[in-house]
Every structure is written in structure tokens, then in C-alpha cells.
């Protein structure tokens, strides 16, 4: 039996569509792909997709202009393309 796997571009599109639907167009301005990794979530094979978007700090009207970014990590099931989770992605300060 041959298992069909969702491609990386398909998983990325799923993550981006999920982000826009969950967070709204305003919070997802400047959405871009940052990282892709293969992994598992429980017993499910997933693509881990990290996306960034302009910082949405409502207290700072210049946040978008400053170039600061918010990062979100998405787990996308390789078999179905379903987004299983969205988490805040903290960057290391190395």
C-alpha cells in the first residue's frame, strides 16, 4: 500500500490558511515562511511549519514599521494536511 503524503508546499498553504482564519487578516500581515521540519505529534507524522508575521503589538503603532516579527509553529498532518496545532514559537537568543 502506497501512502500519499502532503507535500511541503501543500502543508505550508494549509498552515497559512489556518493562520489567516484563526488570527485574522490584520494580525497576519506580511505572513512568511521561516522553517520547515519533519516530526511527530503523538503518533501522527507531521510537518512542523514556522511562519512569521509583522509584530501585532497594539500598544506600539510603529511595531509593523520596526521590522519586529511574531512567530507561530504549526503541526500539519502529513497524511491529510490538517493543521493539528498552532503554538507561539519563541526564538533562541543565541
The enclosing domain of 23 has a CATH number of 3.10.450.40
User: Is 1 inside a domain boundary?
Assistant: no
User: Is 2 inside a domain boundary?
Assistant: no
The pTM score is 0.81
pLDDT higher for 18 or 92? 18
Check residue 42 and give its pLDDT: 92
Question: Residue 59 burial by CB count (10 A; 0-12/13-18/19+): exposed, middle or buried?
Answer: exposed
Q: What is the mean predicted confidence (pLDDT) over 60-81? A: 80
pLDDT tens figures, 18-41: 999 999 988 888 899 999 999 999
Domain count, the chain: 1
pLDDT higher for 18 or 2? 18
User: Is 94 inside a domain boundary?
Assistant: no
* Residue 41 domain boundaries: 8-88
Check residue 83 and give its pLDDT: 97
Check residue 29 and give its pLDDT: 83
User: Is 78 inside a domain boundary?
Assistant: yes
Check residue 20 and give its pLDDT: 95
User: Is 62 inside a domain boundary?
Assistant: yes
Outline where the chain has alpha helix (H). Answer: 8-23, 63-66
Amino acid at each position: 500500500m502506497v501512502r500519499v503524503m502532503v507535500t511541503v508546499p501543500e502543508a505550508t498553504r494549509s498552515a497559512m490558511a489556518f493562520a489567516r482564519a484563526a488570527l485574522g487578516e490584520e494580525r497576519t500581515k506580511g505572513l512568511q515562511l521561516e522553517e520547515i521540519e519533519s516530526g511527530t505529534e503523538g503518533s501522527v507524522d507531521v510537518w512542523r511549519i514556522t511562519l512569521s508575521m509583522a509584530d501585532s503589538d497594539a500598544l506600539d503603532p510603529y511595531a509593523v514599521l520596526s521590522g519586529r516579527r511574531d512567530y507561530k509553529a504549526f503541526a500539519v498532518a502529513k497524511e491529510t494536511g490538517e493543521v493539528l496545532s498552532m503554538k507561539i514559537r519563541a526564538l533562541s537568543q543565541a
